[in-house]
Amino acid sequence: MLSKDHYDEEGLCPATGSETEVSRRQFVGRIKEVDTGRELRFKSTDEVPAFLAKCFDNAQQQERDPTSLCANE
């Protein structure tokens, strides 16, 4: 499990695009993991959970093995 301090250092920055239709719950845009610079441009909200899971998995790996480069993939 990630520590509270780890969460304080991490951040995700979402941005919605002009094609977003909130009334239809259709979101288009990008989300960026601030500390690694990894970014996903999405055309469907279905893409976002996989990106978040990968970010959290990489953060957990980094916490277990600080020399791991997997967060930079």
- Domain contains 50: yes
Q: Would you say residue 72 lies in a domain?
A: no
pLDDT of residue 35: 84
Domain count, the chain: 1
Give the model's pLDDT for residue 67: 67
- What's residue 17's pLDDT? 95
DSSP 8: H
Cα end-to-end distance, the chain, whole Å: 21
Q: Confirm whether 70 is domain-assigned.
A: no
Give residue 36's pLDDT.
86
Positions of the chain with pLDDT under 50 = 1-4, 6-8, 71-73
Q: How many CB atoms lie within 10 A of CB 3?
A: 9
pLDDT at 10: 64
Q: Containing domain of residue 9, as a range?
A: 4-65
In a domain, 39, yes or no: yes
Q: Is residue 34 part of a domain?
A: yes
Asked if residue 73 is part of any domain, the answer here is: no
Give pLDDT, residue 68: 59
Residue at 35 is within a domain = yes
52 belongs to a structural domain: yes
